[in-house]
């Protein structure tokens, strides 16, 4: 099938994962610590900073009509209060390139990476961050707002609580049996929708504390992807609200939302209370912060099952992706339907994808995921678009370049782009 003309079919990226040389960010510093938890640094990544026009034209040629990408705070405000006009003009050029190629730009203001100066001032547990983020959002909107219809303030704003829960589980497993730490780490990593190396993080804790103190002035810098306290969790959403207010004050017609990392939480017999509690933590308790948003970005990759004793491992014999997620594209439809029960604004799938070496499995994943999207649209759910993650094989955070999510392969020696069959397959859903 093909979706109606106004439906957005596209792909997503994050600045740090594709642009390269994001030197003023917290991640760049952490990648280069002697005892880094990153298996490799991002370097020039996919050089999307210079090759965005080529990448956008490949999307357009395949039939896509939307591109969700992030502007990089660490480029735009490399030092506190000092805004770089050249960098904001760069992103204006990206937006105009999208428009020239018939692609709707969906801009994310904060996709995990922060300016290093912000982390030195307390990061994502500091009250002052709300004001800094509001100021940054106002600056970007003042400069680029006339060119935009959609802004996502913060990517996966609920990630901190998910990481806190997973870190607790991994520490418990490691304490219970050191010999099982390897398998426990893989299980933990397979339950969070971001590339993390929990085992290496635990091994490096002592060294990391010393090196982080030297780099950021604290042994435990509160980067965005840190285990979040309940107070920090609320602070992230208050920062979202402040940014939304700033955006709307300048351009009331811009559609503003946030994105959440959401699993298809399934209760097996006896696991109902665990699944409900998990959904409350992952989604429901955020409703007061987002109820008035124009849209919600739904981000889903897999499911999580619960039994009488809590979270269950992947089913025996299940197909696993490179990220150790269960191959389960039906999860997306389940999550969309459940979110729509409580959130009454528009929905956009801002991330959904799979890391595999066999592109035919990616095609199958997209086919089944979009069958679920079609079913939701037919049932009247206000779903406005689907963004596959990711446009390019890119830098998957602590896991480096080993995870291949992309619709386009990238030879990082030559930066040559090779579109995969899945890119054209996704584009075929456009009328």
* Catalytic sites, residue numbers: 156
Closest CA to 142 of 272, 248, 230, 213: 248
Cα 195 to Cα 189: distance, rounded to the nearest angstrom = 7
Cα 117 to Cα 80: distance, rounded to the nearest angstrom = 7
Per the CB < 8 A criterion, the answer to whether 425 and 366 are in contact is yes
Handedness of CA 355, 357, 359, 361 (dihedral sign): negative
Cα 30 to Cα 212: distance, rounded to the nearest angstrom = 8
Residue recorded with tokens 């992230």: 236
Cα 410 to Cα 393: distance, rounded to the nearest angstrom = 6
Closest CA to 121 of 75, 71, 76, 81: 81
Cα 246 to Cα 255: distance, rounded to the nearest angstrom = 13
Phi (first) and psi of residue 322, to 5 degrees: -60, -25
Residue-by-residue DSSP string for 45-77:
TT-HHHHHHHHHHHHHHHT--EEEEE--HHHHS
Asked if residue 390 has a cis previous peptide bond (ω within 30° of 0), the answer is yes
């Amino acid at each position: 099938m093909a979706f109606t003309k106004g439906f957005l079919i596209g792909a997503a990226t994050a600045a740090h994962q594709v642009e390269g040389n994001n030197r003023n960010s917290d991640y760049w510093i952490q990648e280069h610590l002697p005892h880094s938890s990153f298996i490799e640094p991002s370097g020039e990544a996919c050089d999307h900073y210079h090759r965005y026009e080529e990448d956008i034209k490949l999307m357009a040629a395949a039939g896509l009509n939307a591109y969700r990408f992030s502007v990089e705070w660490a480029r735009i405000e490399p030092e506190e209060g000092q805004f770089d006009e050249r960098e904001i003009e760069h992103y204006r050029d990206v937006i105009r390139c999208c428009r020239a190629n018939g692609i709707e730009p969906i801009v994310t203001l904060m996709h995990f990476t922060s300016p290093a100066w912000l982390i030195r001032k307390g990061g994502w547990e500091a009250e002052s961050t709300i004001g800094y983020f509001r100021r940054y959002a106002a600056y970007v909107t003042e400069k680029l707002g006339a060119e935009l219809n959609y802004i996502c303030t913060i990517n996966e704003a609920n990630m901190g609580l998910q990481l806190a829960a997973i870190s607790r589980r991994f520490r418990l497993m490691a304490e219970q049996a050191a010999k099982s730490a390897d398998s426990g780490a893989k299980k933990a990593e397979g339950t969070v929708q971001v590339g993390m190396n929990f085992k290496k993080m635990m091994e490096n804790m002592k060294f990391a504390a010393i090196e982080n103190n030297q780099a950021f002035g604290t042994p435990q810098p509160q980067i965005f992807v840190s285990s979040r306290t309940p107070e920090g969790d609320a602070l992230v959403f208050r920062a979202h609200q402040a940014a939304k207010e700033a955006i709307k004050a300048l351009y009331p017609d811009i559609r503003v939302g946030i994105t959440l990392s959401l699993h298809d939480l399934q209760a097996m017999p006896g696991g109902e209370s665990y699944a409900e509690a998990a959904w409350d933590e992952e989604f429901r308790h955020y409703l007061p912060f987002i109820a008035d948003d124009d849209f919600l970005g739904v981000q889903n990759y897999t499911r999580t099952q619960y039994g009488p004793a809590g979270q269950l491992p992947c089913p025996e014999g299940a197909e696993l992706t490179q990220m150790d997620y269960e191959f389960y594209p039906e999860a997306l439809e389940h999550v969309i339907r459940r979110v729509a029960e409580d959130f009454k604004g528009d929905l956009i799938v801002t991330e959904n994808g799979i890391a595999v070496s066999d592109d035919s499995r990616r095609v199958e994943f997209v086919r089944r995921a979009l069958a679920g999207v079609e079913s939701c649209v037919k049932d009247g759910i206000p779903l406005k678009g689907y963004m596959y993650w990711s446009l390019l094989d890119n830098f998957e955070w602590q896991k480096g370049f080993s995870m291949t999510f992309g619709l386009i392969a990238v030879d990082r020696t030559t930066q040559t782009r090779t579109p995969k069959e899945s890119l054209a397959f996704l584009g075929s859903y456009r009328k």
